[in-house]
């Protein structure tokens, strides 16, 4: 008469570092662009933006560097100077 106990279903785990699980959906090329943009933002952009803010002065060379790295107009085709990548 005693029915066997069923195991409780495992609860879904929440990934706080990637709540929408986007990491698994990126292609290798998209990961490379993301990593390059993150490195540029941390190493070059952040210190210069802080300095510009403190001294109330803009640094136009920053945009030239971003353009040279392909961060401006990334969805434009290469024949027009863009990187030809998608919006992700």
pLDDT tens profile 7-53: 888 888 888 998 998 999 999 999 999 999 999 999 999 999 999 99
Within the chain, residue ranges assigned H as helices are 28-40, 46-55, 61-68
Residue 1 has pLDDT above 70, yes or no: no
- The tokens describing 85, both together, are 């990548």
**Where along the chain do its domains lie?**
26-80
**Could you tell me the pLDDT band of residue 84, with boundaries at 50, 70 and 90?**
confident
Reply yes or no on whether the pLDDT at 55 is more than 90.
yes
């Amino acid at each position: 008469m005693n029915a066997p106990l069923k195991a409780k279903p495992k609860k879904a785990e929440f990934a706080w570092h990637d709540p929408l699980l986007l990491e698994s959906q990126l292609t290798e090329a998209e990961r490379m662009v993301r990593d390059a943009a993150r490195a540029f933002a941390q190493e070059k952009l952040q210190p210069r933006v802080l300095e510009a803010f403190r001294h109330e002065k803009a640094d136009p060379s920053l945009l030239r560097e971003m353009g040279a790295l392909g961060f401006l107009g990334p969805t434009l085709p290469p024949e027009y100077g863009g990187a030809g990548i998608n919006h992700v």
